[in-house]
A = this chain, B = another copy of it.
Amino acid sequence: MVSWNNLDTTAAYKKLADLKGKVCLSKVMAGDEGAARVKKYCVPMAGGLCFNYAAKAVDDEVLAALCELAKEMQLAEKFEELYNGAVINTGEKRLVLHQLCRGQLGKDVIADGVNKRTFYEDQRKAAAAFAERVHKGEIVNEAGETFTTVVQIGIGGSDLGPRAIYLALENWAKQNGTLKMEARFISNVDPDDAAAVLKSVDLSRSLFVLVSKSGTTLETLTNETFVKTKLAEAGLNPAKHMIAVTSETSPLAKSSDYLAAFFMDDYIGGRYSSSSCVGGAILSLAFGPEVFARFLEGAAQEDKLATNANPLENPDMLDALIGMYERNVLGYPTTAVLPYSQALSRFPAHLQQLDMESNGKSVNRFGEPVNYVTGPVIFGEPGTNGQHSFYQLLHQGTDIVPLQFMGFRENQAGMDATIQGSTSQQKLCANVAAQIMAFACGKADENPNKSFAGNRPSSIIIGQQVNPESVGALLAHFENKVMFQGFLWNLNSFDQEGVQLGKVLAKRVLAHDTDGALAAYSELLNI
């Protein structure tokens, strides 16, 4: 049986605190020692990726203490409890089973009288079969025409992950001849969001995927009605243009308003739902079920690596430990996610949700306030764009921001140009390598304005290409990293009570049941 303790109760954490400032990154990354670190501090991931942490402010002694901490906090055992079906989401008294959508890591998990792996697989297969019938022209619009576009209606976890993955693979799929349907996304309750998407598609050839686990998300139901109204105005039957992804107990589950319904359940949190039908329906429709299966396989392989109790062989656990060290021992409040790939343009937004919604909490899993900081602010944009934007602060600002780079040896579209003796892809890769070293080692200059202090830590995930397997591995890596950090901070990473108060107050505003400042703001906004 594992025991759930706060981070600051452990001996290893105290040891880590004593090691603060021991590693001078600009020194250890210089010369031959630096080259040796790049080769040594690298751990394989799934999907052809590797996690390289040479430019983090750690050495063998710090790593040994992190390994002790992992053992003392029983990180591997806690993950084992999770994938074997323990009630890890204590606040809501739920199992946490998103990994089961892509593989079976441990024992059979039986809940609500069914084998959950079988349940998720059945749902995946049902969505796959549906997608294939759409692609074959067996499911068509009322005029007998095929569907060419799929539009997801969802918000938060029903939007950011699937959207990031779609964008990550859209051009790969075009290049590989597997783009079956173009995808669009409607999320914001701002009516201009839905209006712009609907104007950009051929409504008569569009299939909508309504995604809401509870079937009660205000934004999603609002946008559903918005879309149905426009379909009806165009003389189309909404029920012939819409499918639902929801839980079996939701009001949407058995409705004749949908061509089909695919199910998730309470054991899969929104931000962890990309591997379920929440991602599976739209991605199978857009790319074909086989591509989605390859994505799941990449994630499943990464999950297997995450079961290793040795952090030095477990990239997800190691990333989590180093991140905790930077947050709690070194005291850095933010982390930047910087993929050197335009395809991953919205991956930072997904990670921002995944991380900040999971671990942005002040009480531990028992509801007791913690005496240490928890989840950092996560932000990021693709490189090289960011270099011409906020990197100035990263290099010379007064705060140190740990960096999470990603880089890939090959592009997706197979179009490139050689200019000044190098391809664009080489320039892209040269820039990320250069940045790591510039951040780590800096450069002294007589002009203090041109001086770089260095000692700014980064890691990089390196891969061959952004493709289904590597995107699956990336997704699982960060899900597992966030989970392990939640274990370290002794949080429940799987609820989100912090989003409730705003919802309650918004309802009061709409009911004109307000006074004081809230009424005054409502007046200013003309509600």
Contacts and interface: CB of A to CB of B under 8 A. Distances in A.
A119 interface: no
A416 interface: yes
Q: Which of A160, A199, A397 has the most CB of B within 10 A?
A: A397
B362 A498 contact: no
A249 interface: no
A377 B392 contact: no
Contact of A397 (B50, B361, B384, B437): B361
B393 A495 contact: no
A393 B368 contact: no
A131 interface: no
Interface residues of A, number: 163
Interface string A197-235: 011000000000000000000110111011001100000
B510 A422 contact: yes
A177 interface: no
A160 B389 contact: yes
A506 B427 contact: yes
A313 interface: no
B353 A389 contact: yes
Nearest to A91: B449
A363 B397 CA distance: 9
Interface in A35-52: 35, 37-39, 42, 50, 52
A518 B433 contact: yes
Contact of A192 (B188, B343, B388, B524): B343
A378 interface: yes
A518 to B, nearest CB: 5
Interface string A53-95: 0110000000000000000000000000000000000010000
B190 A341 contact: yes
A508 B504 CA distance: 57
B190 A428 contact: yes
A480 B372 CA distance: 37
Interface stretch (A25-33, A260-268, A286-294): A25-33
A237 B54 CA distance: 48
Nearest to A92: B449
B191 A388 contact: no
Given A191-B413, A389-B352, A399-B333, A38 B524 contact: yes
A506 B433 CA distance: 7
Among A35, A193, A356, A382, find the residue whose CB has the most chain B CB atoms closer than 10 A. Answer: A193
Interface in A87-129: 91
A424 interface: yes
Interface centre among A157, A334, A390 (most CB of B within 10 A): A390
B498 A29 contact: no
A205 B31 CA distance: 53
Given A190-B411, A389-B353, A500-B450, A510 B427 contact: yes
Nearest to A160: B389
Given A29-B517, A433-B522, A433-B527, A501 B343 contact: no
A296 interface: no
A56 B425 CA distance: 46
Interface in A437-470: 437-438, 440, 442-443, 447-453, 460, 462
A383 to B, nearest CB: 8
A438 B502 contact: yes
B415 A195 contact: yes
Given A189-B431, A191-B424, A377-B377, 7 more contacts: A35-B519, A160-B385, A219-B427, A226-B416, A378-B390, A435-B502, A449-B492
11 contacts: A34-B516, A52-B524, A157-B388, A222-B417, A223-B424, A349-B389, A353-B389, A360-B397, A421-B510, A429-B526, A433-B522
